[in-house]
Amino acid sequence: MIWGVFVVKRLVLGAASAVISCSSLALIAGGTSTVSASLVPAVASGTFIPAPGRPHTHTHAARGLVNQWSSNWSGYVQSAFNRHIFTAVTDTFVVPTVTSSVAGTQYAADWVGIGGFNDHDGSLVQDGIQAVVTTSDNTTTVSYDAWTEILPHAEKPLKLAISVGDVITATVQETATNRWLMTVDDVTTGKSLGRPVRYRSSGLSAEVIHERPCIAEPCSSHLADLAQTPDITFEPGFYSEAPVGLAPVYLGLLGSANDAVLNSVTMEVDDGNQEVTVFATPSPANATQDGFTVADGDVAPPAPTI
């Protein structure tokens, strides 16, 4: 399905994958919250889905910023007009506590990627973490995992044990032509895992995203419920346009890029009757143009100050 210049192309995993997580126990009102290693419903992160029924862009010419509305993404995207511009992206954030006040299963994924925003071929290479929270009979279970993914292939978990509060750095880099290294570093534990792949990417965008993933086809109507989290700060974040094979030259994610536009993305849906529900909203850029915060709801949080 085509929405303007965007192509929706998502893959849903066939088999459930093992989730590596911490093993703490915490009490919550009305029940018990357990965080443990488990099998969770399979999902896939993926391509930007423009919010239906809304104008796709609103440009602030003086700031060089385009506001975007997406059904599944919230964060920031550098998008280029020509292919093979972006060759690396990296960002750091803290694994959030996820909660649920309703029965059922909710998801939240935080990741970095190259491609997937304005790709006609639907290419995207990405990595990050995912949280899954399930509430049933006054008991809440939370699972966390780290993963890599290249569309249209299935998400692959990394055997990296992560816990709430861990500082995570996610990086995607093209190390040689059509050769990518996806790495998730747990700065808190000093553990790191990655996965090299051969992959032909458009290189049209570099993004850092808080997402509610696709859980069934078609993704436009089968997006997960977004798990509740505290505000999530992504900082510092960088992209590189250095030629493939050379060391990345990292620039602030929210700064100016050659042949590119900065996009601020709000996660929302429109029911077609002018009733809009906003799930998550990014802050303005910080002073050094390398950080931002995403908050649940329709109010933009303050920009990070450090």
Give 166-188 pLDDT, tens digit per residue.
999 999 999 999 999 999 999 99
**Are 250 and 88 a contacting pair, CB within 8 Å?**
yes
Q: Do the domain assignments include residue 306?
A: no
Question: For 132-155, what is the mean pLDDT?
Answer: 89
Give the sign of the dihedral formed by CA 31, CA 189, CA 231, CA 11.
negative
**Are 207 and 78 a contacting pair, CB within 8 Å?**
yes
Comparing 2-6, 128-132, 184-188, the range with the smallest average pLDDT is 2-6
Q: Do the domain assignments include residue 7?
A: yes
What percent of the chain is predicted at pLDDT more than 70? 81
pLDDT at 86 over 70: yes
Question: Which structural domain, as residue segments, surrounds residue 17?
Answer: 2-296
- The residue among 233 and 53 whose pLDDT is bigger is 233
Q: Do the domain assignments include residue 302?
A: no
Q: Do the domain assignments include residue 223?
A: yes
**Are 57 and 82 a contacting pair, CB within 8 Å?**
no
User: In whole angstroms, what is the distance from residue 129 CA to residue 220 CA?
Assistant: 22
Question: For 244-260, what is the mean pLDDT?
Answer: 91
Beta strand extents in 116-237 (DSSP E only):
124-136, 139-150, 156-158, 167-176, 179-186, 191-198, 205-211, 225-226, 232-234
Q: Phi first, then psi: what are they for 238, rounded to 5°? A: -140, 155
Determine the pLDDT at residue 273: 74
User: In whole angstroms, what is the distance from residue 196 CA to residue 224 CA?
Assistant: 28
Q: Do the domain assignments include residue 304?
A: no
Identify any residues that bridge with 218 across adjacent strands, giving them in sequence order: none
Q: Do the domain assignments include residue 256?
A: yes
Q: Do the domain assignments include residue 6?
A: yes
Determine the pLDDT at residue 131: 94
Q: Do the domain assignments include residue 305?
A: no
pLDDT at 162 over 50: yes
Question: For 109-138, what is the mean pLDDT?
Answer: 91
CATH number at residue 51: 2.60.120.700
Q: What is the largest CA-CA distance in the chain?
A: 54
Task: Count how many domains the chain has.
Answer: 1
Comparing 22-31, 107-116, 184-193, 265-274, the range with the smallest average pLDDT is 22-31
Of 72, 77, 74, 80, nearest in space to 50 by CA = 72
How would DSSP label each residue in 78-146? EEESSTT---EEEEEEEPPP-B-SSSEEEEEEEEEEEE-SS-SS--EEEEEEEEEEEEETTEEEEEEEE
- Residue pLDDT, tens place only, 212-249: 998 877 777 788 999 999 999 999 999 999 999 899 99
User: In whole angstroms, what is the distance from residue 179 CA to residue 200 CA?
Assistant: 8
Average pLDDT of the chain to the nearest whole number: 82
